[in-house]
A and B are shown apart, each in its own frame.
Chain A
Amino acid sequence: MAHDHKHDDKKHGHHHYVLPNSLAFKVFGALIFLTIITVWTAHFDFGAFNFPLAMFIATIKALLVCMIFMNLKNDVKENSVIFFTSFLFLAIFIVLTGSDIFFRGDVYVKGPLVAGASKSKFKKPWVSTAELVAHGKELFGQQCTSCHGAEGLGNGPAAAALVPPPRNFAQNAGWKNGYKPSQIFKTLKEGIKGSSMASFATLPAEDRWALAHYVVSINPAHAKDTTSDLAAVGVDPSKDGMGGESSSPTIPVSVAMAKLAVADINVAVASSVAKNPDAPVGSGAAYYQSKCVGCHGVSGEGALVRNMGVSPKAYLKTGSLSGVPFDRFKSVVTKGLPGDVMPGYGNLSNAQLQDLYNYVKSAR
């Protein structure tokens, strides 16, 4: 019988190994010694090796405890398989989570983020060509016209709501960063703080160069870049390259989430916004219909703003107004969000603000 054979095993000490005290003391000595080594090596800086070294020593200690004190060494093999498999799962857990968190940005920048963004086909995108201008014009139609207007005259459908108003590219005066291609490129990358001009760093660099060349083409009086202008945005004109992009930009998770939340809203909805004629004059609803609807959409779904490299607070879709106290709401509406698209509307009474607050909350 099978288990009679097992009885014989027992006499050979297969299952009933008794740990000799001498071995227990030796292992204990080794464990203390390794602890001292760990503390001692922590005083030195081995750079990137600090962490692996500490983990290596800890793992030797852990193996000593497992193999000798817990006697896994003399135990049936399947117990080793069971126990060490858990560490395999732990490793999968750590590696997959880490590869997501630490390398997600790489995935995002490998493909074009925005529809219409092209593959790299311009070797020196800072040099204006007819092809680049045409590409820029196409992108302009997708990205810029809602504020800057179809002709770039600063008269897009959303322009009326923005303070300061969007730039009229036909004018020569008042350009914050200047109107050379490299300067426009910089603005596209960083946005303009304190205005509604958002950063478009999520567009590939050559797309931003194409936009810059198109904007320059609107007013031929614009100056050309010098070598030092190009150097200011990190371009060495003697070499091919992406132009001013040492590392590709990544998109923050929060922005990606907001983009996803409003992705199903068609931008066309915003330009044909249906006004609610029944809203009583002076009410929160009426105010929303006159001032907020252009960007936030008929029912707060985001609408226009979604196509402008920033994340609108798409209240209805994401519910992000929940938990926003009135004081904060009041501050945002009256002062705006400096550096963001949201302008301030300072001429509202407290009662009107309260009514607007209630309306926006109820709309959600």
Chain B
Amino acid sequence: MSDAHHGHVVEHPGSKPHVVAHHFNDADHEFDASKQGMWVFMVTEVLMLGGLFVAYAIFRGLYPEMFKAAHAYLSVKMGATNTVVLLTSSLTMAMAVSATQRGERNKALGLLAATVALAGVFLVVKYFEYSHKIHSGLLPGGLFGTEQNAELIKNFPKAPLFFSLYFMMTGIHGLHVVIGMGLILWIMKRTSAKEFGPHFYTPVELVGFYWHFVDLVWIYLFPLLYLVG
């Protein structure tokens, strides 16, 4: 047992030692508490996005035919591409965590870089999707181009609602992707500084959680927005 007034120190050869915060009994205590904190944070994420999912459920229930007609304006190809891209990035992220746990620092760095790169690909695809929507006037609420889409608006006057949901849901998801990229870059910097290893990898794992959660949300957004039956 080390000095009660200072934290434990956990070490691994070739890495910086990690000092456990003084209010934890030991490194495991710290790890478990941090992880639980992250799960609680993800609960708040579920509930925040939940509002949008409720709005989606209600409006789809009220205007099923409109959803069917409006969703045809989205590109299933691009949505499916982005699904594969995000799933792959989840794989590289999961492998980056286990590489860190095994002390394979360079492999972890490579996998984290791949994750950021895939996130970039996701955003580029999203950029093309968004610019096409903006160009065609397929925009939320009052911004909707009624003249460009006269046929849709004539048959389905509530169609702008679908695009409100589309932009709000994918927009908040996209914001999470951008934040996730920042977090992974931060983790890469700290990995390069030899802060992580088998002795201490909590931040890598928790950023991993965040990234998997981003993937999780997209797993639902893809069928809800792109594949309305």
Among B50, B54, B87, B229, the residue within 8 A (CB) of A45 is B229
Per-position 1/0 for B84-123, Cβ under 8 A of A: 1001101101110110011000000000000000000000
Given the complex, which residues of A lie within 8 Å of B32, measured CB to CB?
Answer: 15, 76
Known contacts A15-B31, A16-B101, A54-B229; A98/B57 CB under 8 A: yes
Given the complex of chains A and B, what is the CA–CA distance between A16 and B35 in angstroms? Answer: 12
Say how far B100's CB is from chain A's closest CB, in angstroms: 10
Is B80 in the interface zone, CB < 8 Å from A?
yes
Is B78 in the interface zone, CB < 8 Å from A?
no
Contact A7 B47 (CB under 8 A): no
Looking at B131-139, B185-193, B213-221, the stretch in contact with chain A turns out to be B213-221
Contact B35 A79 (CB under 8 A): yes
Interface residues of chain B: helix, strand, loop or mixed (majority): helix
Given the complex, which residues of B lie within 8 Å of A175, measured CB to CB?
Answer: none
Given the complex, which residues of B lie within 8 Å of A55, measured CB to CB?
Answer: 220, 223
Contact A66 B216 (CB under 8 A): yes
Contact A25 B91 (CB under 8 A): yes
Is B19 in the interface zone, CB < 8 Å from A?
no
Among B54, B93, B102, B229, the residue within 8 A (CB) of A46 is B229
Interface size band for A: 35 or more
Known contacts A42-B229, A93-B54; A10/B28 CB under 8 A: yes
Give the total of B residues in contact with A, Cβ under 8 Å. 50
Say how far A278's CB is from chain B's closest CB, in angstroms: 45
Given the complex, which residues of B lie within 8 Å of A66, measured CB to CB?
Answer: 212, 216
Is B6 in the interface zone, CB < 8 Å from A?
no
Is B4 in the interface zone, CB < 8 Å from A?
no
Is A82 in the interface zone, CB < 8 Å from B?
yes
Say how far A106's CB is from chain B's closest CB, in angstroms: 15
A residues 92-137 touching B (CB-CB < 8 Å):
93-94, 97-98, 101-102
B residues 34-61 touching A (CB-CB < 8 Å):
35-36, 39-40, 42-43, 46-47, 50-51, 53-54, 57-58, 61
Contact sample, A vs B, 27 pairs, CB 8 Å cutoff: A3-B29, A6-B26, A15-B31, A18-B98, A19-B97, A24-B94, A35-B80, A35-B84, A38-B223, A38-B227, A39-B76, A46-B229, A50-B229, A58-B223, A65-B90, A69-B94, A70-B212, A70-B213, A86-B46, A86-B47, A90-B47, A93-B54, A94-B54, A97-B57, A98-B61, A101-B58, A102-B61
Residues of B within 8 A of A (CB): 25-26, 28-29, 31-32, 35-36, 39-40, 42-43, 46-47, 50-51, 53-54, 57-58, 61-62, 76, 80, 83-84, 87-88, 90-91, 93-95, 97-98, 101-102, 208-209, 212-213, 215-216, 219-220, 222-224, 227, 229
